[in-house]
Structure 1
Amino acid sequence: MSTTPVERALSYHTRTKHRLDRYARALGYLDWSTQPDPFRTFEGAPRLLLPLRASGLTAAYRDLYRPGAVPTAAVDLESIAALFELSLGLSAWKETRGSRWALRCNPSSGNLHPTEGYLLLAGAPGVPAGLYHYVSRDHALERRATLDPAAARALAGLFPAGSFVVGLSSVHWREAWKYGERAFRYCQHDAGHALAAIRYAAAALGWSAVLLDDLGDAELSALLGLDRDADFAGIAAADREHPDAALLLVPAAPLAPTALAAARAVGASAAEVIRVVAGGAWAGRANALSPSHVDWDVIEDAALATWKPHTEEPAAAPEAALPPLAGGVDGADGTPGAGALASEVIRTRRSATAFDGHTSIGAETFYAMLDRLLPRPGVPPWDALPWAPLVHAVVFVHRVRGLAQGLYVLERSEAAHERLRAALAHPFDWERPEGCPDHLRLYRLSEADLRGPAQIVSCHQEIAADGAFSLGMVADFGATLRERGAPWYRRLFWEAGVLGHALYLEAEAARDSGGRVRATGIGCYFDDVFHELCGITGDAFQSLYHFTVGGPVEDVRLMTRAPYEHLEGERREPDPR
């Protein structure tokens, strides 16, 4: 029986690996009578209906990657509404044969959406001071705690001028209902996607965002009201929310060093912030999400093992300076041009369900996508994570014009080179592709047609072989957990989710003569089959998430509806398609 938190986290990870002869434990069927409600609400909490304003944002997608290129929007009702619309809001409804379900700007494993979002602010025009819960279905904020003027002033004194906090939590049962024990992994992927979605939406408003890195889970739980048992009375423990993370949103771009220091200061004053919020006038009772549940003790144990105390995380060592990201024009070098609005790219992002098996992309497009995965100061989404990269990519190249088929590795940090080279223990070539930008640490490991192995690795799913490329995200795993603690198990998955979100948007925005491409995340893969293919043994590096990009095949059986067509009056806006 594992005893230390790190041992328990490692044990959970090993136990929940998919293997060729068996999958991680789940029910093996879907009990539709217990499917969790994807929308949490708090009955009795006053509602603030948000206007639909995302379509009015004029920021170009490519300008999100140019520090200072997007003018800073005022923090008010309309800009806060746009932030939530572009991060955690609905992006469409799908219908077929009498069934209807919502898609959101933040992707989710199985479209099950365990992630809940909260807003804490000292007040802004149109938004009174308090703590709010966001309901994506209704594009509304439920005011959970109202702060009086004195409390609002006290909170304002603890935050940088004009800044506010967006918090995230997870309902693990929403994923466990379908995926069983492996669901805890997927909740962390989704938290990472949500962090990235918020950072991109903030960038479209000219704002910055940084993780409140020091904050402990008990502090975040108190801050978001998740520990208020009376407000969750009458619902099962499985319907409760687990604290994930919080971002400090700062109305400035790029993020100044003083803002990062301010995020540390907010973390240091967490007890005072909690005292102010706890003293507010609270309202609302959480709805039950499911009439009955299956208890997955292993998930509960993983959550307890990775519970984060308050910490003072050390500043990340500076990485080598990278050249500015290429801008380009549509079709010239694979990067999105001025015609691609950030709001359009974000709201039309979809998870591909099948690829056509022939669409290719040019090497320039491929390199541009990979370049967006490297951290640069003031550039989303990586400036939101205050640590150096710990997740790298092993890439199956299938259909990239100007690049040989084969297995490649992208090192996202120069410091990882020797350890990665030792971990990928097969006698690989480690050759730099001709024409690859000098700063892009991409190596060809072997030249071969690996469409078959890629499909096998991803639980025999054709989508991993039919695209332009697929990849496995390999994390600096065992040493990170043993040196930094079990809570880093969740953070490694968050980083993988952020990386996946960047790929989603890059695929959606790509302009390439080979045709339109889309992406999809793959949570189902045979962990150790992939490790064996890479020569990985032990737990020094582990694959945490898989991804694929290719030419999408549209499902013509599905009808697409605008995300908020059910809202009346001035809150309605055109379908972004």
Structure 2
Amino acid sequence: MTVRAYHENSKHRPERYALGPGRLDWANQPDPWRSYAGAPRVVLPLAADACETRYNDLRRGRLPVAAPLDRAHIGLLFELSLALSAWKEFGGTRWALRCNPSSGNLHPTEAYLIVPALPDVAAGVYHYSSREHVLEQRAGATNEWDAAFRGRALLVALSSIHWREAWKYGMRAYRYCQHDCGHAIAAVSLAAAALGWRARVLDEVGDDDVARLAGLDREADFGTAEREVPDVLMLIGDAQAVVDVDLLGVLSARCAWQGQASRLSTGHVHWHEIDDVQAAVHKPRTAPEAVADLPTFPAPSEPTLDLCVAALVRQRRSALAFDGVSGMTAEAFFALLDAVLPRQGVPPWSACASRPQVHLALLVHRVTGLDPGLYILLRDAAVLDELRAALRADWLWHKVGPTHLPLYLLIPYDLRASAQLVCCHQEIAADSCFALGMLGRFGLAQREPWRYPALFRECGMIGQALYLEAEAAALRGTGIGCYFDDSMHELLGLAGSEWQSLYHFTVGVPTEDARLSSLPPYSGRQL
């Protein structure tokens, strides 16, 4: 089976790492921004400072009154999700940071806006360019276009350019592209909620639908440029809004398409393993996922910092190192974990209909009032017996924390050395307050291969939530894609292949590098 073969072959192991480039070919480092030459541009305003929505309101499901669907608020949707958050500078070199996290800051995710006629935005298809915060109009729509949108709604399509990650990470890059897509789904969902809009992944559409609507299947528009693969289609707007994807698909063929995709590198390394798994997981049209009947939880406790969404998403960073000394309180720890439990109507979890398939194995190091040790957080308490049977038989499974929080202590023990070993010997996993691995139901992908990327995307969504929760707790987080898969399984005593560790993360008190200068994201914007 292609998916299983790719997953096994892309595992890092203590005796050997998954195949990579060997060295970084700096002359062919991919351009982090795609553009479409010849496509008309729509300048988006910068208005994040005017957004007053508080993050704690969103994590408790309290959305503001819905904003109008217009150019100004579409600009704010992207500014709070996929735009630049800052520039960093060191030794004469500058690089951009974005609101959405990315493995190695390589940003394989591209975004497309598909809209009816709106104030200051003509109906059609647009590519979002974060570098200047503009829309590039890829297609002008026909008169029938608006009939496909019932209710106040727009679509956002996400795609991946695998080469951006493979340039640095080789075979394992496919995993990271899906993590980044999940980061972006969560970022867009939270930004939409900050505007009072609902965001939902249209899980029934197929990859061909996404490619057709975003213009990714137009070979002549790409030429020798790196191709993009379709990921997901998100419906954003009123809770009851509906979009006729079939009609849009028909009408897209009648659109006046424009723009030529930019080439990102002059040379490339072909990773056939990525092409093979991408072909194997190609998603057809499917029945809509049954909406999960999630339990009703009390609202999570308030975080340490009561920040507005705009400030929080723009200050989010990936920690480069932790101090190895400082801890966090048990109350802050419980509140952070509580916020990654899926709740009805609470973003970003409201973007997905199905039950959670990813749970957290936590290695707690420095949480005041809590024993160091190995813990499990079940994001769906219904899997307790199944996971308990899959893990080592003599674990304690001692319930800790708030009554409603499905958090269990497996063994009290200092696991800092184990955390560092599992995470490719990286000190950041041991110097934190806690580290974790995300256990996904890999068996789903063995039965329906198109669910394989969806598992990584769910991990990415959790990662984005952890990033923001860490910032709100006056801490910092960082995603860890380099870990020894089976070493984590051995630590847990995990038997069989139904569950696999798919993403790692760590949270702590960061040490800052004073040599780096930080600059505003769009100062002196030239268009």
TM-score, length of structure 2 as denominator length: 0.98
User: Contact conserved, 1:335 with 1:368, CA < 8 A, in 2?
Assistant: no
Aligned-partner Cα distance in 2 for 1:157–1:518: 46
Q: How does 1:132-143 map to 2 (within 5 A)?
A: 132-143=126-137
Residue 434 of structure 2 corresponds to 469
**d(CA) in 2 for partners of 1:460 and 1:249?**
42
Name which of 168, 188, 194 aligns with 2:184: 194
Contact conserved, 2:3 with 2:446, CA < 8 A, in 1? no
Q: 2:445 aligns with which of 444, 458, 481?
A: 481
For residues 444-476 of structure 1, the C-alpha deviation after alignment (integer angstroms, 9 at most, x for no partner) is: 000000000000000000000001111000011
Once residues 126 and 317 of structure 1 are traced to their aligned partners in structure 2, the CA distance between those partners, rounded to angstroms, is 38
1:246 aligns with 2:204: no
Q: Helix, strand or coil: the match of 2:514? A: coil
1:116-515 counterparts in 2 under 5 A? 116-148=110-142, 150-151=143-144, 155-235=145-225, 239-251=226-238, 255=239, 258-259=240-241, 262=242, 266=243, 269-326=244-301, 328=302, 334-337=303-306, 340-433=307-400, 436-478=401-443, 480-483=444-447, 485-510=448-473
Distance in structure 1 (CA, Å) of the matches to 2:224 and 2:19: 29
SS of 2:150's equivalent? Answer: coil
Please state whether the residue corresponding to 2:399 is helix, strand or coil: coil
Q: Shift of the alpha carbon at 1:426? A: 4.1
Q: Which of 550, 555, 565 does residue 508 from structure 2 map onto?
A: 550
DSSP-derived class of the 2:290 partner: coil
Q: Which runs of 4+ in 1 moved over 4 A?
A: none
Per-residue deviation at 1:317?
3.8
Give the total of aligned pairs. Answer: 527
CA distance in 1, matches of 2:208, 2:163: 20
User: In 2, are the aligned partners of 1:360 and 1:400 still within 8 Å (CA)?
Assistant: yes
SS in 2 for 1:12: helix
Output the CA distance in 2 between the equivalents of 1:291 and 1:538. Answer: 44
Amino acid at match of 2:411: S
Partner AA of 2:419 in structure 1: A
Confirm whether residue 541 of structure 1 aligns to residue 516 of structure 2: no
Offset at 1:283?
0.7
Distance in 2, Cα, partners of 1:314 & 1:565: 44
The residue aligned with 1:8 is 2
2:155 alignment partner AA: V
1:313 Cα shift? 3.1
Contact 2:294 2:344 in 1 (8 A): no
Rounded to whole Å, the distance in 1 between the matches of 2:30 and 2:7 is: 25
TM-score (norm 1): 0.90
Task: Report the 3-state secondary structure (helix = DSSP H, G, I; strand = E; otherwise coil) of the residue aligned with 1:531.
Answer: helix
2:123/2:146 contact within 8 Å kept: no
Per-residue deviation at 1:68? 4.2
Between the aligned partners of 1:557 and 1:320, the Cα distance in structure 2 is 48
Cα-Cα RMSD: 1.3
State the Cα deviation string for residues 302-338 of structure 1 (Å, max 9, x = none): 1000110111133044122222333x4xxxxx4443x
- Which residue identity lines up with residue 95 of structure 2 in the other structure? W
Q: Give the match's secondary structure for 1:432.
A: strand
Q: For residues 540 and 385 of structure 1, what CA distance do their matches in structure 2 show?
A: 22
% identical aligned pairs:
51
Letter of the 2:209 counterpart: E
Unmatched tracts of structure 2, length 5 or more = none
- Match of 2:126, as an amino acid? Y
Distance 1:367 1:520 in 2: 19
